[in-house]
Amino acid sequence: MSRIAELWSGLTPNARRGVVGGAVGVAAVGLVAAIALGGGGGGDDAAPKPNATTTTAVTTTAPPTTTTAPPTGPVAPLTGLQVPQEDALLLLRPPLAVKVDNLDAPKESALPQTGLTRADIVFEEVVEGNITRLVAVFHSQQPGTVGPVRSARTTDVELLPQLGRPLLAWSGGNAGVVNAVQSSPYIINAGADAMPGSYFRDGSRRAPHNLYARGDELWAKAPPGTPPPPALFPYRKKGEKNPPSARKAQGVDLSWGGGAASSNVSWRWDPKARVYLREQRGRPHRDSGGGQLTAKNVVVMVTEYVPSYADSRSPQAKTVGSGELFVFTNGRVLHGRWDRPDIAKPATLVDDQGQPVLLSPGQTWIELPKAGGTAAITR
């Protein structure tokens, strides 16, 4: 067991509630000091700005000014960013994965979603009718309310073990999916049936697109000894240049296979904000706060889909295996291969020269389009 996992498992239930609720009491101060501080984040040719939803340490001079100090705490494994020292205890906990509705059809929509901007990583997978569903993974930030929450798929049973032993927030599924989730040694069932008190329905929205999770509450119920996640990717250090294999690219357009309810997705590089802006159905994809969804990295892992063993009408992504890779980072694209032979480990990403692909520290979206589908690069 890692030192961080030992510290997490040593906390009493009340102390752990304080950690996940953002309260750092006297008993927790010693634990903060016991966490080894990581090296500085970075990786953009220009110094990245602190994430808009991450608490930053304001300079102590009075009166307060707009000057902020960069975080000086440990590095979050799922973003490569340093977190403020006062938030260091958040990194002791396991990751929380939430299945988020993404139906965006002309006559029915789950948008806008809540909580996606605070996720460390977001996976996008294909489900029935060539619509997509999201898996938002939270770890270094408090998610607050997240949703709308929807059902799981057998894709998730194979996808999530690379995160260690995450909690899964979901609304249910058919009997085969429920059995697969509940019997998985890699997944902690934090679904609406298992923890109904941590979910609620928004009466102003139409079912089934109105179920939400109180993400901060779910962590307090993680079994003792549940470890934090491993790093999924290596990150570029501050000032580290792009490799020769990286080519300039403005973004990517993704098609999921067609159909009335299928929503094409585009990502476009914003050189001023140094992030990728997400569009869906040709318009900005905004969250419930009105802001457009963004990412520092967009990882496109072309994936084979097969009929699910739980329901042959449902597609299942084969994320244990290998496939073609496109990585969009820092305004450039790298082409290569992804390889994941072990369900308990993340994929390795290499470019066409066989060199490891390094990401920019920050939020990453991982797109899982079908092999044979469309991924058009905009240069």
- Asked if 139 and 164 sit in the same domain, the reply is yes
Domain boundary pick from 219, 239, 271: 219
Contact 127, 153 (CB under 8 A): yes
103 lies in some domain = yes
Q: Do 187 and 270 have their domain in common? A: no
| 185 pLDDT above the threshold of 60 | yes
Q: Please give the Cα distance from 85 to 75 (Å, whole number).
A: 10
Examine the domain organization and report whether 176 and 268 are in the same domain. no
Q: Does residue 41 form part of some domain?
A: yes
Looking at the fold, whether 147 and 200 belong to one and the same domain comes out as yes
| Separation of alpha carbons 50 and 302, rounded Å | 31
- Does residue 334 fall inside a structural domain? yes
Give me the number of domains the chain comprises.
Answer: 3
Question: How many Å apart are CA 335 and CA 44, to the nearest integer?
Answer: 19
Work out the percent of the chain whose per-residue pLDDT is above 70: 80
| Spatial separation of the C-alpha atoms in residues 147 and 110, rounded to whole Å | 9
Instruction: Tell me which of 11 and 318 has the higher pLDDT.
Output: 318
Tell me, yes or no, whether 225 lies in a domain. no
Q: What is the pLDDT of residue 10?
A: 52
Cis peptide before 208 (omega within 30 of 0): yes
Q: What is the CATH number of the domain that holds 283?
A: 3.50.90.10
Tell me which of 219, 237, 257 is where a domain ends.
219
Tell whether 240 is covered by a domain.
Answer: no
Contact (Cβ atoms closer than 8 angstroms) between residue 36 and residue 74? yes
* Residue pLDDT, tens place only, 89-108: 899 999 999 999 999 988 89
Same domain, 188 and 256: no
CB crowding 131-151: b at 16 or more within 10 Å, else e: bbbbbbbbbbbbbeebbbbbb
Give the residue ranges of DSSP H helices in 72-124: none
Q: Are residues 255 and 366 in the same domain?
A: yes
Asked if residue 304 is part of any domain, the answer here is yes
Q: What angle do CA 61, 64, 68 make, to 5 degrees?
A: 80
Residues 214, 287, single domain; the answer is: no
Q: Output the pLDDT for position 4.
A: 42
244: pLDDT confidence band, cut at 50, 70 and 90? confident
Q: Where does the pLDDT of residue 375 fall: very low under 50, low under 70, confident under 90, or very high at 90 and above?
A: low
Least confident of 20-24, 256-260, 280-284: 20-24
In a domain, 139, yes or no: yes
Query: Residue 168 and residue 230: Cα distance in Å, rounded?
Result: 17
Residues 302 and 204 in one domain: no
Our separate counts of H helices and E strands in the chain read 6, 24
Query: Do both 103 and 70 map to the same domain?
Result: no
Same structural domain, 76 and 101:
no
What is the CB-side half-sphere exposure of residue 355 using CA atoms within 13 A?
11
**pLDDT band, very low/low/confident/very high, at 37 (cuts 50, 70, 90):** very low
Same domain, 103 and 182: yes
Residues 181, 107, single domain; the answer is: yes
| CB 47, CB 69: distance < 8 Å | no
349 or 237: whose pLDDT is higher? Answer: 349
Task: Tell me the residue range of the domain where 47 lies.
Answer: 3-53+66-90
Residue 232 in domain: no
